[in-house]
Structure 1
Amino acid sequence: MPDTARPAAPAPAAAAHVLVVDDDADLLRLLTMRLQAAGHRVTAVDSAEAALAAVALERPQLVLSDVRLPGRDGLALFDELRRSHPALPVILLTAHGTIPDAVEATARGVFSYLTKPFDGKELADKVRQALALSAPPAESPAGAAGAWRAAIVSRSARMAELLGEARMVARSDASVLIRGESGTGKELLAQAIHRASPRAEQPFVAVNCGAIPEALLESELFGHVKGAFTGAIAHHRGLFQAAHGGSLFLDEIGDMPPALQVKLLRVLQERTVRPVGAREPVPVDVRILSATHRDLDAALADGSFREDLYYRLNVVTLHLPPLAERREDIPLLANHFLVRLAKKYGKRVNGFAPEALKLLSTAPWPGNVRQLHNVVEQVSALATGALIPLALVERALRVPSVEVLTYAEARQRFERDYLIGLLKMTDGHVADAARLADRNRTEFYRLLQKHGLTPGAFRGESPSGDTGGEPLSPIGDA
C-alpha cells in the first residue's frame, strides 16, 4: 500500500469525506469498500504521516484510524489532529491488547473506538453518529426555491416531510393550525408558509394571544376609534387591518379568552372587523395561521375553547416535532446559532469540541429549539477559546436556561411589568398608582406613554361598555 493519499472512486457531491488510516492492506480495502457502499467518499492511507498530509490537502469530515501504525501510532495521530483540527472527530480501531489505550483516548476527546473484528452495522452506526456531529454550519437553501424556508435549519427526514406538507398547503388560502411544544419554532413555520404563499409580498403580522392582557387584546386585534374609552386619544388600526392582504399569525390561540373567541369567529365568518367604539365594520382580507402548545381537544371537552372556532381555524393541522425527535438537526442548529452568537459577542469561535457536540446531541431538551439557542448563547458569551469545550456545555446544561438580556433590556421589561401591576392593583387610577410608585403624576404619565400603556384599559368596563387600549408589541414564538 503506498504511503500517499489515494482517493477512491468518485462519490456523489453530497457524500461525506472519510479518511481511513491502517497499515493492513486487506483491512484498508475492506473499510474502503464498506464506506463507499454507504455512499461516502473515502481517502485511504497507511500511515499517520500520510494521514496528516491528506488532512492538510483536503480536510475530511471524519478520521477512522487504527491505533497501531508504523512510526507514529494512532494515539499520536489523534493528539496532532486535536491540536491542529480540534473539531475533527476521530474513531480508533483497536485490537484487544490496546483497548485500555483507546478508552483513555476516548476520555481525552476521541469520538469513539471499535474493537477488531468489528461488526459492519456497528461501524456504520458510529460513522453516521460522528458525521452528524461534524456537520458544518447551516447554510440557507440555495436559490429562490429554498428561500421560503431559509430560516428553518434542518436536514431530518421528519422535518423534510413536514416542510413538504407546509409548502403544499401554502399554495391554498386554507387556515392552518400549527401544533407543537413550546420552543419548537411555530412562528418560524408560520412565516415560511406565508413566504411560500401567493400573499408573500403582503404583510405577515404575529401576535401572542397569551402575552397581552385580556383588557388590551380586543383593541390590539380589532383596533379602536378616538374616544372609545378613557385614554383613546387617537384612532388605532388593529392587527387584522395591519395584515390586510397578507397573513395574521395568532400564537397561543388556546389562551384566547372566551369572549374574544366569539368576536374572532364573527370576523372569520364575515371577513370584517369592528374596531372598539366604531359603528361601521371594516372589510379585511387576511389568511389566518394559528398555533398552540395546549391540548385543544381537552379545551373543547371542558368548554374553554369554542368548537365552531376550532373548526374554522383547524382546516389543516401541522405538527412540529419536539427537538428530541429530530436529533440529527441538533449539531446543525447548534453550529448555526454559534455562528450568529459569536458575532454578537465579538468572539472568534470556530465550533464545538466533538465531545461537547456529542453531549448537546444526547441532552433531553425539554425546552426544544428555544432552550438549545439559550444554551448556545450562554456558552458563546462565556467562551475564551476557539472551540467550545465540554465543560462549558455541561455547565450551561446544569444551570436552568434563561433568556439572555442586556441590563437595559431587563430593566425595560421589569419597568413595564411593574407599571402593569400597579395599574391592575389600582383599577387604572393614575393618582393612586403614582402614589404607590412614589412618583408625581406627570412623571408617571410619561412612563405609561413610554411603554404604550393606557390607564383606561385597566378599568374593567369603559363608559361605552367596551374595554381596550393602546397596542402592545406582539410577541412571537421562538
Structure 2
Amino acid sequence: MTSGNLTAKRILAIDDDPDILKLLAIRLRAAGYIVDTADSGEAALTQLAITRPALVISDLRMPGMDGMALFDAIHQDDPALPVIILTAHGSIPEAVDATQRGVFGFLTKPFESKVLLEQVELALRTSSTPNSTMTGDTAWRSAIITRSPMMENLLAQAQLVAMSDASVLIQGESGTGKELLARAIHQASTRHLQPFVAINCGAIPEALLESELFGHSKGAFTGALRDHDGLFLNADGGTLFLDEIGDMPLPLQVKLLRALQDRMIRPVGARDSIPINVRVISATHRNLTAEMKQGNFREDLYYRLNVVGLGLPALAERREDIPLLASTFLQGLSEKYGKKVQAFAPEAMELLLAAPWPGNVRQLQNIVEQTVVLSTTAVLPATLVQKALREDIGAIMPFETARKHFERDYLVKLLKATAGNVSQAARLAQRNRTEFYKLLQRHALNPALFKQDELPE
C-alpha cells in the first residue's frame, strides 16, 4: 500500500509543453517531492484513477480539456484536493474567477522556483490536517484497508472533517464499512481520548431505544430498578455513532432533533434536562431523500445530521481493493483457524475479482473465511471459492456490452483490478492480447502505470 508520508509528498503536474513539464518536474523533484506528469487533462484524469496525489499543478491553456475543466472534474470527486493553475496568459479576471471557484493558487509563467515552491508548501500545509494522535500519517485510518484512489479521496475528506465538530452522515450499502469510517473520524479528531459509543438504531425495539439513547430514572417504567445513564451520557466528551439512522422511528426522531438542537437530553421519567457534549456521526444504507419524500424521515433532522455527507463506495466500485482485502483476510483467518493457507490460486482470485459482491467487504470476508475453513492445501483453489460464492460469476460484463456504456472506464477498471497484468485483463475481457493492446493504445492507457510497485523514496 502507498504509505501516508509518500502520498503527502506526491504531486501531479500537467502541461502540454514537454519542456515546461520537464522543468517543472525537475524543480519539484529537486525539492524532495515525488512527481507524476501528464501532457493533457485527459491523461491527468487517468493518472488520478491510479493514485491520489497531495497536490495538482496544471497548465491553464491546453488542447482538449483545459486547466479549469480539469479542476472542475477533480473537485467534483475530490473537493479536498488542492489545485494550482499555471498560465502564460495570466490576467486578473482569470485569477479572480479561478480562486472564486476554489483553485488554491494561480501562478504566471515563467515562474520563479522560489515562488513556486512557496506556493506548493503552503498548499500542502493548508490541505493537511496534522494530528498528534497519529503515528506517521495514517494511524487514525489503519483499520481501513485500501489502495483505491476513490477511497483515498474519501479518507482525505474524512480527515479534514474530523478536526471539526460538525455532524457527519455516512451513506453506503450494507457491508461497506460505515462504522470503520466513523471510528477513523473519531480517531483523527480532538475527541480521540474520549469514548466512541455505537448503537444500531434498527436493532433495538422502539420501546427501548429512547431509554438506551437518553437514559431513564429509577421507577420510570416497569423494570427500571435503578437510574440508567444512556448512550449520550456514556459518550459525553466523545463521539456517538448512530448506525442505521434511517430505521429510527418518527416519534424518536423528534426527540433526537431536540437533543441535537438544545445540546440537552432528558432521561425517561426525569424532570430535569442534562447538558451533553457529544459529536454525532450517523450512518445509513437507506436513501434518506426518498425516505423524506415518503414521510418516513424528518427533513429537519436530516439537515441537522447531514452537515457533512460522506458516501462509501460499494466494493464493486473499487475492485482494485479485492486482492489486497482478500489477502489480508486470508492471513488473519489462517492464523485464527491454525491453517497454513498462503495464497489464492490465480483462477480463484479471478473469481473474486469478477463476483458481484452485493454484501460488499463483509461478504468478501465471509467468503474468505468459508474457503479457509474448508481448505486442505496451502493454495486455495477456484473450486472452493466458487462453492462459497454459490452463484454464477458475471460481474465483469462481456466487452461489447461494456463498450456501449463507457469503454475507457471499463479498461481502467480492468487494469486497476489486475495491477496492470495485460494477460489477466485480456482474459477477463474475453479478448486476445493483440486486440486488447490495440484497445489500450486507442485510449492512451499504459499498463505499466497500474502496476502496484512500491513507490520510490
- The percentage of counterpart residues that share the same residue type is 67
- Paired with 2:332 and 2:204, the residues of 1 have a C-alpha distance of 30
Residue pairs, 1:5-16, within 5 angstroms: none
Alpha-carbon displacement from aligned partner over 1:358-380 (angstroms, at most 9, x marks no partner): 11011110111111011011011
Alpha-carbon displacement from aligned partner over 1:441-469 (angstroms, at most 9, x marks no partner): xxxxxxxxxxxxxxxxxxxxxxxxxxxxx
Gaps (5+ residues) in structure 1?
A: 1-12, 15-38, 40-141, 401-478
Instruction: Tell me whether 1:358 sits opposite 2:344 in the alignment.
Output: no
- Paired with 1:376 and 1:166, the residues of 2 have a C-alpha distance of 29
1:256 to 232, 243, 248: 248
Cα RMSD after superposing both structures: 1.7
User: Residue 290 of structure 2 aligns with which residue?
Assistant: 298
* Aligned residue type for 1:207: I
Alpha-carbon displacement from aligned partner over 1:73-92 (angstroms, at most 9, x marks no partner): xxxxxxxxxxxxxxxxxxxx
| 3-state secondary structure, aligned to 2:141 | coil
Closer, same or farther in 2 for the Cα pair 1:201/1:391, shift >3 Å? Answer: same
Residue pairs, 1:159-238, within 5 angstroms: 159-238=151-230
- Paired with 1:220 and 1:264, the residues of 2 have a C-alpha distance of 12
Shift of 1:345: 1.1
User: Residue 93 of structure 2 aligns with which residue?
Assistant: none
1:146 to 113, 132, 138: 138
1:271 to 237, 252, 263: 263
Shift of 1:189: 0.4
Instruction: Tell me whether 1:383 sits opposite 2:375 in the alignment.
Output: yes
Closer, same or farther in 2 for the Cα pair 1:226/1:399, shift >3 Å? Answer: farther
- Paired with 1:386 and 1:290, the residues of 2 have a C-alpha distance of 42
Gaps (5+ residues) in structure 2?
A: 1-5, 8-35, 37-133, 393-457
* Aligned residue type for 1:159: M
Instruction: Tell me whether 1:283 sits opposite 2:280 in the alignment.
Output: no
Alpha-carbon displacement from aligned partner over 1:357-413 (angstroms, at most 9, x marks no partner): 11101111011111101101101111111111111001000179xxxxxxxxxxxxx
Instruction: Tell me whether 1:310 sits opposite 2:302 in the alignment.
Output: yes
- Paired with 1:156 and 1:205, the residues of 2 have a C-alpha distance of 28
Alpha-carbon displacement from aligned partner over 1:154-211 (angstroms, at most 9, x marks no partner): 0011001000000011111100000111111000000000000111111001100001
| 3-state secondary structure, aligned to 1:212 | coil
Query: With structure 2 as the length reference, what TM-score do the two structures score?
Result: 0.56
Alpha-carbon displacement from aligned partner over 1:318-356 (angstroms, at most 9, x marks no partner): 010000000000000001111111111111111111111
- Paired with 2:138 and 2:248, the residues of 1 have a C-alpha distance of 34
Shift of 1:143: 3.6
- Paired with 1:153 and 1:389, the residues of 2 have a C-alpha distance of 24
* Aligned residue type for 2:253: Q
- Paired with 1:297 and 1:318, the residues of 2 have a C-alpha distance of 15
Shift of 1:144: 3.4
Query: With structure 1 as the length reference, what TM-score do the two structures score?
Result: 0.54
1:341 to 326, 333, 354: 333
Max radius of gyration: which structure? 1
| 3-state secondary structure, aligned to 1:236 | coil
Structure of greater relative contact order (alpha carbons < 8 Å, 6+ residues apart): 1
* Aligned residue type for 1:381: V
* Aligned residue type for 1:167: Q
- Paired with 2:143 and 2:205, the residues of 1 have a C-alpha distance of 30
- Paired with 2:277 and 2:288, the residues of 1 have a C-alpha distance of 26
* Aligned residue type for 2:289: D
- Paired with 1:362 and 1:197, the residues of 2 have a C-alpha distance of 37
Q: How many residues align?
A: 262
| 3-state secondary structure, aligned to 1:248 | strand
User: Residue 30 of structure 1 aligns with which residue?
Assistant: none
- Paired with 1:143 and 1:171, the residues of 2 have a C-alpha distance of 17
Instruction: Tell me whether 1:392 sits opposite 2:384 in the alignment.
Output: yes
| 3-state secondary structure, aligned to 1:364 | coil
| 3-state secondary structure, aligned to 2:138 | helix
1:319 to 306, 311, 318: 311
Shift of 1:278: 0.8
Alpha-carbon displacement from aligned partner over 1:258-284 (angstroms, at most 9, x marks no partner): 000000001001111111111111111
Which range is displaced more, 342-351 or 203-212? 342-351
Runs of 4+ in 1 over 2 A off after TM superposition: none
Alpha-carbon displacement from aligned partner over 1:408-446 (angstroms, at most 9, x marks no partner): xxxxxxxxxxxxxxxxxxxxxxxxxxxxxxxxxxxxxxx
User: Residue 460 of structure 1 aligns with which residue?
Assistant: none
* Aligned residue type for 2:330: L
* Aligned residue type for 2:215: G
